[in-house]
Amino acid sequence: MNTLLAPATRLWLRLRLNEVGPLLSLSACGFFAWAFIALADEVREGETHALDSRLLLALRDPQNPANPLGPSWLEESARDFTGLGGYAILTLITLAAVIYLLMAGKRGAALLVLVAIVGGTLLSTGLKIGFERPRPDLVPHATRVYTASFPSGHAMMSAITYLTLGALLARVEKSRRVSTFIMGLAIITTLLVGVSRVYLGVHWPSDVLAGWAVGAAWASLCWFVALQLQRRGQVEKPGEITPPSDAKPE
């Protein structure tokens, strides 16, 4: 028994799972990954279709399914919210964040953000190709779509981008209230993007749930990796700045 426990204990301590941050991030990654796998299995078997259909139709005018419920300004607002999860907006936000981190001397953090979001994009594309789920055909689409339905790329990429950047900003903020506000804003933005996809009729609700799950799992994994790299000095700690390569020694 000791021969099995000793290596496990060394690995536990090496990964700093005795500390809150690494333990929570790895646990969150495992939970959200399990949630995605369980949901994907239900989708493959068609178990979610009835509930998906009811929820999608519940957001439409029963007399005219082409019209989402609510006033016209609500539909236009949904298009604005859904744009926050579009590749153009997320690319702009990512580039701005990376350039800012590089200018601030945080090269390790900049590389981490870039790898996390580019890797998430590749993962999203691979999952869509693997599942090839058709888009909803119960109602007309209120915005253009070009790819498969499962999982929702907007929901997944907004989760990865906003949660990763939110966690990064929260780390450098000393005030707990401000850190909570930043993370809360990142979560609310992610939720609004996903809900807007269902409201506009371009995704089944299960697509969005799956996108949120796999996006949160990926963001949690990236955060776990960041904590490990910080300990090795490969990613800057909060407040730490990498001196420019052309800086003269004093």
Omega of the bond leading into 151 within 30 degrees of 0 (cis): yes
Structure confidence by residue, pLDDT tens digits, 75-86: 999 999 999 999
Percent with pLDDT over 90 in the chain: 45
* SS3 state at 238: coil
Q: 9 versus 182: which is more confidently predicted?
A: 182
Token pair in block for residue 91: 């690319």
CA–CA dist 53, 55 (Å, integer): 6
Asked if residue 239 has pLDDT above 80, the reply is no
Asked if residue 73 has pLDDT above 80, the reply is yes
Asked if residue 26 has pLDDT above 60, the reply is yes
CA–CA dist 189, 128 (Å, integer): 23
Token pair in block for residue 190: 């992610």
Domains of the chain: 18-49+72-231 (1.20.144)
Q: What is the average per-residue pLDDT within 222-231?
A: 82
Structure confidence by residue, pLDDT tens digits, 162-211: 998 888 877 777 788 888 898 999 999 999 999 999 999 999 999 999 99
174 DSSP 8-state letter: -
Say how many C-beta atoms besides its own lie within 10 A of residue 110's C-beta.
Answer: 21
